[in-house]
Amino acid sequence: MPQDAVPELSDYQPTLADDREAILTGLTAPQKHLAPKYFYDARGSALFDRICELPEYYPTRTELAIMRERAGDIAAAVGPRACLVEFGSGSSVKIRLLLKGLDHPAAYVPVEISRSHLLAAAGEIAREFPALEVLPVCADFTQPFELPATDEPMARVVAWFPGSTIGNFEPKEARRLLEVMRQQVGDNGGLLIGVDLQKDRGLLERAYNDAAGVTAEFNLNLLRRLNRELGANFDLRAFRHHAHYDAARGRIEMNLISLRTQQVALAGTTLSFDEGEVIVTEYSHKFTREGFAELAASAGFRVAQVWTDPAALFSVQWLEAAR
């Protein structure tokens, strides 16, 4: 691929208008909630990249350290001529590290819901790896999508899902997403996945309530996006960010809290908020190794290898399609 080429895009990008009914259902439920996939417009994606660089946010640097330390083992597990499909193409740091370690990857297929972020990231990879076929797909990766045809023959399809994003889903939703991945990779395929592990409450809560306020800005940007794309009139000054760890459920819960009694218009509906009322915007489940292995098995995967850091904060796991 020429270094100045822009990869051809397979575009299935949903809009907030497509999900209007689901958004209204969430915001009129007894416990108001929004899906975390709505965070990722261009600004939200850029803010998340900043979060990954924060001193409190241990997952990114810990996952990168594992990948550097275990690069040879990871490459051996994936094998040569793999078509690498990244679910949720975020920062390009991890994929660069992975691609450099793999044995002649056949193609790279980044899948991302934010078109502008996807094209920018895919273009960077295409320029850095000119011999690699880069085939971006703009889609909601929680739903099955068509993999683009590759020019080079491949040995297998391997899904790459870093950052413990799997933890953002409720257990039933996580299983369905893993089932989508199992369908995409086929019987000969595999999944390389980041899985955050259970740990000290203080460390977890600091990671999601950073001192610089970037995570708060990221969370509030969700309301800004609803204003811009669905004509809502949220007053961002009337909500604040808060995240806490629910030990019983093993998860961080990220919230937007209404600072006063208020009404908000959205898509022809009036939403009422009491002072102190919460919109749940994200869960981030933390796993035991045994618990995640059970989840993977329920979706048709077998955990073949697990790599962790010395403190066992985080894990990178290699899953193979169960026969």
Q: Residue 112 has what pLDDT?
A: 87
pLDDT, tens digit (0-9, with 9 covering 90-100), for 86-98: 998 766 789 999 9
Q: Residue 186 has what pLDDT?
A: 95
Give the angle subtended at the CA of 178 by the CAs of 174 and 180, to the nearest 5°. 115
Q: Is 2.30.250.10 the CATH classification of the domain at 55-199+286-321?
A: no
Q: Residue 323 has what pLDDT?
A: 77
3-class secondary structure for the chain?
Answer: CCCCCCCCCEECCCCCCCCHHHHHHHHCCCCCECCHHHHCCHHHHHHHHHHCCCCCCHHHHHHHHHHHHCHHHHHHHHCCCEEEEEECCCCHHHHHHHHHHCCCCCEEEEEECCHHHHHHHHHHHHHHCCCCEECCEECCCCCCCCCCCCCCCCCEEEEEECCCHHHHCCHHHHHHHHHHHHHHHCCCCEEEEEEEECCCHHHHHHHHCCCCCHHHHHHHHHHHHHHHHHCCCCCHHHEEEEEEEECCCCEEEEEEEECCCEEEEECCEEEEECCCCEEEEEEEECECHHHHHHHHHHCCEEEEEEEECCCCCEEEEEEEECC
The low-confidence residues of the chain, meaning pLDDT below 50, are: 1-3
**Surface-to-core class of residue 185, CB atoms within 10 Å of its CB (0-12 exposed, 13-18 middle, 19+ buried):** buried
Judge whether 310 and 192 are in contact, CB under 8 Å: no
* Non-local CB neighbours of 59 within 8 Å, separated by 6+ positions: 52, 163, 164, 194, 196, 207, 313, 314
- Distance from CA of residue 202 to its chain's centroid? 23
Q: How far apart are CA 165 and CA 201, in angstroms?
A: 19
> Which among 242, 269, 306 has a CA at the least distance from the CA of 21?
269
* Non-local CB neighbours of 255 within 8 Å, separated by 6+ positions: 241, 242, 243, 244, 278, 279, 280, 281
Domain limits of the chain?
A: 20-50+201-285, 55-199+286-321
Q: Residue 12 has what pLDDT?
A: 59
Judge whether 89 and 162 are in contact, CB under 8 Å: no
